[in-house]
Structures are given as C-alpha cells and as structure tokens.
Structure 1
C-alpha cells in the first residue's frame, strides 16, 4: 500500500518501490563496473583508467565526482531553510572551477601521473613530500566521505521510513560496503562510468524538477519566492518563523561573527576545488592536456546549469513542502529535495529522484575511495616504504586493501555525522583542501625558489591548523547543531576555519622556503618541471612508463 506524506513529514512514498529503484541502479552500474574490470590490468588502469577517456567523457565524470550529495541534498535544503544564504554555497562551488581551470588543470596534467603528490614532489625530495601529500589527501577524502555517508543515512532512512539511529546506521554501513565493492571490482574505469551515468541522471533529474516547479507557478519566479516566504512566515518551528529568506542574513548575518564566518566559508569554497585530490586525479584520466582543458569546460557547463537548478529547487521546497516538514524529516535539511520530488510527482517520481540521489552518493564515495587508496599505495607504500621498488601488482594489491580500511572508517565517521547539513560538512573538506594542498601546489608550479622545507611547512602547517580549528569550533561542539551537541570544548568562534588556516599555509610555505634555502634542490628537475608544465613536452614518455 502506498503511504502518503504524514504531517510530520517523515513517511514518504512506497518503501518497496524505492528499494526496487535503488536495486535497479545498483544492478546497472555494477554491470558497467564488471565490464570495466575486464580491461583493468595495470596500475595505470586501476588508478587513472589508462588515461583513455575523452574530454567530454571526463567532463561528465568530473561533474559526477563534483556534484555530490552536498550539491543536490545539502544546498537544496540550505536554500529551503535559509534562502539567499543557502544559495551562497552554490556560488562558491561554481566560481571555484574558474580557479581550477585557470591555475591547475593543464599544468597538473602535464606534470603528474597518478596522484597530486606526483606534482608536489616532482622537483623536491620524494619521500617526505609524498608522505605529507598522501596524509593530506587521506584527510580531505575522509572529510568528504563523512559528508556523503551522513547524507546516505538520512536519505535512505527517509525513503524506507526508517526511524532511529540504529536503522540509519545500518543504511550507512550498506552504502560503505557497496562503495568498497565498486572500487575493488572496477577501479578507476568502473568508477568513471558510474560517475558519467550519475552525472547524466542528476542533471536531467534536477532539470525536470526545475521545469515542474516553474510550471506550478506558471513560470512566475517572483510568485515562487513570495510563496516560499509565506510558508516560512507561517512556520511553527522555533527560529524559522518570520525569517527573511529572500535577502542575505538568515544564517550568516545574525552578528559580526557570523558574517566573518561567511567570509571564511566563501574563501574555503572558492579555493578548495583546486586542492581536492579526487577532482585533481580526474585530470590524469585523459590522454593530453588539451583534453584536460576540454573536460573542465564541459564540467563547468554541466555544473553551472545544475547550480542554477538548485536555486529553484530550494525555493520550490520551501514553497511546496515548507520548512516544518523538512526539518521534521530524517536527514532534516537534506530531505528537502526528496520531499519536493514527492510533492511534484508522487511515489514514482520520488523513487526516481531518490535513486538519482543514491547514485550521487555511491559515485562520489567510490571516487573518493579510489583517490585515497591510490595515494596511500602509490605515495606512501611504493615511494616511502618500498623506496620505489614496489611492483605495479603490489601497489594495486595494497590499494585494494586500503579501500576496505577507508570504507570501514568512513562508515564509522558517517554514523557519527548523521543529521548534519552535508553542504556544510563538505565545506569543511574544502577548507582542509585549500589549506593543506592549494598553497603547496601553486608554489610548486609557479615559484622557482620553493623547496622541500617550504612544502612540508605548507602542507603540515595548513593541515594541522585547519584540523585543530575544526575540532575546537562550534561545528563539532557547543551548539545544538554541532556534531557533539552535549559537549562544549569549542574555543575557536568560527565554524569554518578557512580565513585563518588558508593564509597561514601560504605564509608558512614562504617561511619554510627561506628557512631551508641553504638546502640545494636539483636545478635540472626545476627546469624540466617548468618546461613540462607549460608545454607538455615529455609527458607522453613519462605516462607510457
């Protein structure tokens, strides 16, 4: 029997139908993954798909990697509850791609082979820099995984009418196991195909919802905004009633400190993408730097269209569902998009859109897992532990073991983070990436005097400062919305530390470089990196090896 949306907003659709849609997606994508596994023979196949994807294909895969559950569930929910301030996430995520396109995409593709550490260590001392870069990659990947797993718990609990933390925890565990299977079986090739399928489904699904929402108000966007504000005004939820969601300030304008928190968030979002390891690794799945540029162009077009859709979806959810039902549902803000789908098209449309959201989570966690495992196997195991003497077979085996470990850790962290807004959790991952990775990456590519000491100061300084400030921030403790609401050990006033940790990492890179200026780096490698990064000369030879 088909259930309906209860007053609480927690019972949605037909659980049996939703499960069938989920299983159908898993079967289709697993078929693609198994087919891809037949051509996954070497380490390059497992890590980068053999560098055989075209620019448009990789553009779809990048969009699939980047448009995470935070984009679809978190941002739509943030707009539905906070309005204008929620849309600021979309702007930050989109503008960040210009930084990636203009500063790192082509240079990174020309200089590296498998991981971000290939670039950072190209002209510096291999072992210490690779170790630092790998640890940074693992930290960013785990933060990102935490957000996706938390989103999975809330989404599937909503669709299957699962109440209580135990049931949601089981859902998170199932998503983690599926992620492990995808990566173990298909490697980067299989993961890329899943991401391409997911990108098409997500953009198309969001586009259909966009059209249906505007159709409901006869294309009158002003009327949609007015309806959304009326629903907020009539809300009975404490703190929501009377909130202005059409102008700035609903979340970040309450005080001088919240305004500063927004500036910190904006810096992290705009600079974070160019330091995200799982996004940077996608540039190695294409054969040339030209295809890398094409892939970013395609990705920007898809991502830009999607974020325009989220504005209408968020206000549509506020107008047609209302913040009371959204905040009462499992997953809270993250339930806005599925609840809107139910209002627009009933059980069938809800099942389809939710399957798209489920696909979103699976594709992103698979990409994160393979990035983290590749970094550990290629950078720590092969280069640091084995000192470059590990065979490709050994690297792939260690990578597969690492996937299992990362999957288990992400399950535990995802259970701890359930109920948090996942757009916010991803913003913390962006802060870590922008603090630990971006300064070192830019210095390595553009500053001739940059040396190993500067790289270690920059990576470890940015990573440690960012993680420390996050742990002692209101995001973790001290507030009802914190990860540990019943504890209070927060002394740093901002929820996002980017405004402090990112400039600090840039400064530490300069300080470390001058402290270590007497340590001679290889001038020949510096010249080779400069020529290769700008022209691509020598890239094909390096990749073929």
Structure 2
C-alpha cells in the first residue's frame, strides 16, 4: 500500500511532540508537591477534566482498532463502540462521585478506607499494575502497526524500534510534567482527535450525499461478505463458543471502564464532586460523538480502501483509519491523521504510566513499606523511578503484542479491570458488610482467574493470530475471560466477607457519609 511521503508524516508527528513537550516543561514549573504530581493539585475544571478523560479513554483502540473492526466485520465491529460507550453509564451512575469524595490519590484509597491498610493496598496496587500493563500492550501494538503503515516497515526489528521510541517519550512526559503535564497533553490530543475524525467523517458523508445509508450501501457492495457486514454475528456467529465469546466480550466492555485505574484517577483532579459529575457528562458527550464517527469511518474504509487491502497492509486492521485518510486527502491528510493517532498513543500511555507509578509509590512504598509516613519528596522520586521501570517493561510487551488488533487487546485490560477492581469498588461503596478478607479475595481472585484464562486462551497460544503462535497450551476456548472471571470476582468478594467477622461500624458510617456528601474529602486517608 502506498503511504505517501514518510518524511512529511514524521515531520508532522515531531511538530506535535515539540509543542506538547514545551507545554509539559512549562507546566512542570508548577509541579512542586505530591498533590501536583498525582492529581494536578485538583486545579482542573469539570470541562477540562472531561476533555482529558475523553483523551485518556479514546485510545489507539478507539481510533485504529474500532475503525478497523468496523471495516472488516461491520456490525460486530460497531459493538466495540457500543460497549465502550455504555460502560460510561456505569461509571457515571455508580462510581464517579462517591469515588471522588472518598479517595485522595488512587483507587486503593477507597478500597482500603474501612479495611486493613496493608493487604488491601497491596492487592489494589497489584491489580492496577496488571490492568495498566495490558492497556499499555494495546497502545504499543497500535504504535507499531501505525508506523509500519506510515514508513512501510514490515520487519519486527524496525517496528520494535518504533515501540521503544514511543516508550521513551512516554517516560519523558511523566517524569517532567506529572499529572498536570499529562492532563494538558490529553486535552490537546482529545481536541485534535475529535476534530480529525470529524473532518474525515464529514468528508466520507459528503462523498455519499450526506446519506449514511449510501455509505453503508457502498460498503456492502465493496465488501467480500456483502450484506453480512450489516448483520450481527459475522465475527462471532461461527459457533456456540464464538457466541459465548461475544457475551464475554460484552461483559468486559460494559463493566470494565468503571474499574480502569487510569480513568478512575482522573476523578481526583477536580476540586469538587459536582465537577467530577460534570467531567463525566462532558466525557460521555465527546466519546459518544467520536464513536458515531467511527461507524462512518469504518464503513467508509470498507469501500474506499477495501477489506482485502486493509488485511494485507502493514499493521492489518489497525491500518484502516490511516489508509482511509490517504484515500481521502492524500499525503497531507494522512500525515495529520497519523500524527493525531500517534498523539493518541502517547497521551494514553503517559496517563497509564503515571497511574501505575502513583499506585506503586503511594500504595506500596508509602502505604505498605513506610506505613503511611514516607517523606513526600521521596515518594515522588519512587514514583518517577517506577515510571521508568514500567516504560521498559511495556516496551518489551509491546514488541511481543505487535500485530494484534488493539481494540481486542484493550478488551483484555477491561476484563481484568471488571474482574479484579469493579467488584471490590462497588462492595466498598455500597455494602456495609464488606471487609478486608472480601476485598482481598475479590481482587486477587478476579485478577488471577482473568490472567490464567488469558494465558491459556487462543489469544496467547494455539492459533495463527496468537501472541506466541508456535506452541499450543490453550485449554480455555474463549478469547476474553470476563464471562467467568467477573462473576467469580463478585462471588469471592461476598464469600470472603461472610466468612469473616471483621466489621468496623464507625469507619463504614464515616465512609458512607463522605461518599454521599463529600464531607472531609480533602483529608488524608491514613489510619
């Protein structure tokens, strides 16, 4: 596939990097405390935070993966968008406000509020690191596929080098700017992404008389599967197992967002609970509009680029959006959209990295090792060192995951979040009987079951598209573990609680008042 002028693509991307680095460096001058590094001093408005949440949430999976999935599988690809969007209703109605009122820096602040600190903080930090790692895999795989298309790089070594560069930039953003710098990168990226996708959507619609039915009809005429792309189960209807796999995917997508630690951490960057709610409504509006764009872009790519050309292109399904940009506007539009996609990846991995680093430094180093008495400056140093370590690990994982559909990889992160984090979050906020044993059993049970089922699934081994295709140790038939691991996480949370006599009535009452009213939300969560 002709990708235009690689040097123009690189120049536009470098321009974005330079501009955002300048902003991050300027913002870093006001990052002087632990609060500034972790949540930007709670200085962002609901609108700013909502745009940043959209920037955090609209990852490479949303732009590259979903457009590719719609182009290849039509209706079934659109189900990713629906799952990702509906998930926000769970976050808005059940999690956003009480989480903001109860926590301080991380998800573990909420989970350990009325529990024994050390076991719960350790479990929550472990889960946070696991979710962040799988989400980082998706972003790194997206980076490899995107640059493979832009520069015509087919070799694993060249794509691995690109993934290493993305990882290095991610570390720089976090080390210099903290949460303030990362938030501004996400705001810029969200605006660019939505504008870029909106322009392409209007362009595709204009080619078809602003008639969505014409766009779908053109895609049906050009697609090898014909009218089947407008019907359910093209991707998932081959057998009973694949249909169960779809149910499992839907569970992961709908319940996963409310347990994603890098999204939950964004609720702490606003000054009040009202602004937290406002930020989620802004995020829903922007994310909803964007997912409508992906429907048009996916069907547009299906007929303007062609499903066979997309499959054959470097990066596979992830190349659909950039290839469509090239078909519409040639080299210049491709360069702009490629830079936006790269900005998407950089912003999301920076947000993931700072979340994972904060969780380790605040929950493990300060909360467990130092018993809540660590020097603030030393805690930030630990967070920065952790960011470097996470960056190195994610680079290696990204090389191994290169070539996988990024929307699918993100669904695995959603499954782990829904299995390990969401049960404990909901029980902590809404069930008086919940206690330390229930929390630890829920987190570790959901996490371990999800990881084991992923490792022994067709995602990792036993299929041509697996991460390690050369061996076959898969015994779990579904590609997503949520159908089993999410109910197990809730069950273990209940079982652990009812088999333990622990129940701190006073602390539970304090948490209930704080979560519903916000009273005392600014106080440190240490006891």
TM bucket (normalised to shorter chain) is: over 0.9
Deviates more, 1:157-166 or 1:140-149: 157-166
Q: After superposition, where does 1:238-277 map in structure 2 within 5 Å?
A: 244-277=228-261
The answer to whether residue 506 in structure 2 is matched with residue 524 in structure 1 is yes
| Residue among 504, 512, 528 paired with 2:496 | 512
**Residues 363 and 376 of structure 1: CA distance in aligned 2, closer, same or farther (over 3 Å):** same
Kept in 2: contact 1:79–1:314 (CA 8 A): yes
Distance 1:503 1:221 in 2: 39
Partner of 1:477: 461
CA distances 1:394-430 after superposition (whole Å, capped 9, x unpaired):
1100000000000000000000001100000000000
Partner of 2:304: 320
Partner of 1:38: 29
Q: Secondary structure at the residue paired with 2:230?
A: coil
User: How far does residue 223 in structure 1 lie from its aligned partner after superposition?
Assistant: 2.2
Q: Secondary structure at the residue paired with 1:326?
A: helix
**Residues 268 and 357 of structure 1: CA distance in aligned 2, closer, same or farther (over 3 Å):** same
Distance 2:298 2:226 in 1: 18
Distance 2:303 2:226 in 1: 14
The answer to whether residue 350 in structure 2 is matched with residue 366 in structure 1 is yes
The answer to whether residue 278 in structure 2 is matched with residue 294 in structure 1 is yes
User: How far does residue 243 in structure 1 lie from its aligned partner after superposition?
Assistant: 7.5
The answer to whether residue 201 in structure 2 is matched with residue 222 in structure 1 is no
Distance 1:186 1:14 in 2: 33
CA distances 1:427-454 after superposition (whole Å, capped 9, x unpaired):
0000000000000000000001100000
Kept in 2: contact 1:225–1:319 (CA 8 A): no
| Residue among 93, 100, 111 paired with 1:120 | 111
Partner of 2:150: 159
> Aligned residue pairs: how many?
527
| Residue among 269, 287, 293 paired with 1:303 | 287
CA distances 1:517-539 after superposition (whole Å, capped 9, x unpaired):
x23x4322111101000011111
Partner of 1:383: 367
Partner of 1:236: none
Distance 1:318 1:365 in 2: 29
Distance 1:438 1:41 in 2: 33
Q: After superposition, where does 1:106-117 map in structure 2 within 5 Å?
A: 106-117=97-108
Distance 1:287 1:63 in 2: 19
Distance 2:468 2:83 in 1: 27
Kept in 1: contact 2:442–2:493 (CA 8 A): yes
Distance 1:542 1:263 in 2: 41
| Residue among 139, 142, 146 paired with 2:133 | 142
Partner of 1:431: 415
User: How far does residue 496 in structure 1 lie from its aligned partner after superposition?
Assistant: 0.4
Partner of 2:329: 345
User: How far does residue 513 in structure 1 lie from its aligned partner after superposition?
Assistant: 0.5
Partner of 2:42: 51
Q: Secondary structure at the residue paired with 1:197?
A: helix
Kept in 2: contact 1:417–1:483 (CA 8 A): yes
Distance 1:460 1:306 in 2: 35
Structure 1 gap segments, 5+ residues each: 1-8, 234-240
**Residues 427 and 91 of structure 1: CA distance in aligned 2, closer, same or farther (over 3 Å):** same
User: How far does residue 542 in structure 1 lie from its aligned partner after superposition?
Assistant: 4.2
Distance 1:478 1:229 in 2: 32
Partner of 1:86: 77
Kept in 1: contact 2:104–2:522 (CA 8 A): no
User: How far does residue 242 in structure 1 lie from its aligned partner after superposition?
Assistant: 5.5
The answer to whether residue 519 in structure 2 is matched with residue 537 in structure 1 is yes
User: How far does residue 83 in structure 1 lie from its aligned partner after superposition?
Assistant: 0.6
Structure 2 gap segments, 5+ residues each: none
Instruction: State TM-score, norm by structure 2.
Output: 0.99
Distance 2:370 2:521 in 1: 25
Partner of 2:168: 177
Distance 1:292 1:390 in 2: 29
Partner of 2:67: 76
User: How far does residue 328 in structure 1 lie from its aligned partner after superposition?
Assistant: 1.1
User: How far does residue 389 in structure 1 lie from its aligned partner after superposition?
Assistant: 1.8
The answer to whether residue 199 in structure 2 is matched with residue 208 in structure 1 is yes
Q: Secondary structure at the residue paired with 2:250?
A: helix
Partner of 1:336: 320
Instruction: State TM-score, norm by structure 1.
Output: 0.95
Q: Secondary structure at the residue paired with 1:291?
A: helix
Distance 2:523 2:511 in 1: 14
Kept in 1: contact 2:144–2:159 (CA 8 A): yes
